[in-house]
Amino acid sequence: MDLGAERLISAEKGLRQIVVEVKSFIGRSDVRDLEQALGQYILYHQAMVEQNIGRELYLAVHRRAYRNVFQNELGAILLKNSLIRLLVFDEVEEVIVEWVPD
């Protein structure tokens, strides 16, 4: 299922099957990148529901994007209201450092 994401990956988290959409957040505006990522996330989530794909959708972002975007007011609202699931990774070590929510 690739609807135009930068990278869409199927994976497993423990016993759960997930789909991961990777976003870079390298544009001129973090807010614009967030708007685009959120729109794609909602679109992919709804397409997965409609196609009865039994996987959870996660948005993967690097650590800097998590700090700059999701720990500030707008991004934090999305997390607080459970509108989006995040997978935070270290782009140098190529490891997952946090799942939000856990």
Contact assessment for residue 102 and residue 79, using Cβ atoms and an 8 Å cutoff: no
Provide the residue range defining the domain that includes 63. Answer: 7-100
Domain contains 67: yes
Domain contains 72: yes
Q: What is the pLDDT of residue 71?
A: 93
Domain count, the chain: 1
Domain contains 44: yes
Phi-psi region of 14 (alpha: psi -120 to 50; beta: other; left: phi over 0): left
Domain contains 1: no
Domain contains 42: yes
Q: How confident is the model at residue 19 (pLDDT cuts 50, 70, 90)?
A: confident
Q: How confident is the model at residue 102 (pLDDT cuts 50, 70, 90)?
A: confident
Domain contains 31: yes
Q: What is the pLDDT of residue 12?
A: 59
Domain contains 35: yes
Q: Which residues, in sequence order, are CB contacts of 66 under 8 Å at separation 6+?
A: 86, 88, 98, 100
Q: What is the tens place of the pLDDT at every residue in 48-96?
A: 999 888 888 999 999 999 999 999 998 999 999 999 999 999 989 988 9
What is the domain-level CATH number for residue 18?
A: 3.40.1350.10
DSSP 36-77: HHHHHHHHHHHHHHHTT---EEEEEEEHHHIIIIITSHHHHH
Domain contains 14: yes
Q: What is the pLDDT of residue 15?
A: 72
